[in-house]
Structure 1
């Protein structure tokens, strides 16, 4: 049996107290053909050494370290660039989330069965947020029949735990088509960049849900997204304008762009106007 190569891309920063559990959950995957590239973003603690020591007993792990702190966005994009050149599939993984058995194998199965899919969506167990409890499966995304349906559903965020898709396995050939990903021009340049990346991926293929809980998302006060000011006018305007720009620049047909525009652009323009 042929097992397509999968590259796990792990971003790490100041994670010495908890990253071993994450690394162990990745190393425990039984899929026959995967490698791990971890990049420490100039941590101020012993994260880099902890990861180096772990990799000594795991030859499929490569540990890198940035010379200067790049931040989550640039560190992730740099890893994505490496991953898509080394494997047929890849996935970005935060330093504090835990993979369950079958995370890789189950997603590769659905991707191989659906060659038109851009990515697989793993079921997500939510830990630490009072308003997000239980499990998220994002079936609304995988049930989107047309590209305009998928894009619209993502933009309107009418999905419980839509960010599970960001943690899924991506088809490398599709990721190559969306790089580079521009930072927001207004507000926090990294604000909701995961949503923007998913929207760009949705231009190139379907999202397929595994309908199985395959990882645990750990939320805490130090999680990156917890630092984003979702009420900031600048951040809201920044993401709204970025979404509109990506739709205009997308490879979709004019008919598809107009269809999406009819559904979401009037609302986006109203939101932008209300923030000015």
Structure 2
């Protein structure tokens, strides 16, 4: 959020993806909406115009996309046309409905969840659509202690309305401006460029041999997003400048789904790139 990007969570159902999005909205005091993606969901279902029988005209109705935090649940269960409508809105931060362009709220943050593509009914996101997400992560299973506490205390979703906001939209936008102002030294930019180049030219992520299913190298957009994510990480650590450790901390989440189409497949390739490229 600090880097003004969007998040893709790739994991199995039931590990808390939806709960995470709701809790985040509650702690930041932002309006939240959830869209359950299904095979029959239409692009118009995200933000629509509704026919008014009294005036015989279409009246604009702000759909779930017009919220500050939008959970696009199981995005790979919807057909490509519907996926594309949401992802274009994420990129442009506006939507065009009936020839009228309407800006989306600020801040605007999409958390999309995706089930493993081997599950029945999944439409894998193409590479161009995956590139719209700043980061892709897996939540994974909780450790034994956390799972035991969950079993004892029960479903935590009932307690989400009790959350007290610790910030608001204006505060979050101020944090975003602070993150964008974090200094990145020329030596750090050299390091980021070296990572980008290595991903394109040397197959460092596969030890010199193209990895099965490997995609193209990281794009300039990936480099821009890597800089933004590293700046946000440095700000969270209370520093006015980016260190190599910040780049390393966010690299797998930024690069993994771009290198191999999924977090699980691309994570090892991202780690291999970090090992192959010398620190500044």
TM-score after normalising by structure 2? 0.32
Q: Which has the higher strand share?
A: 1
Asked which structure has the greater CA Rg, the reply is 2
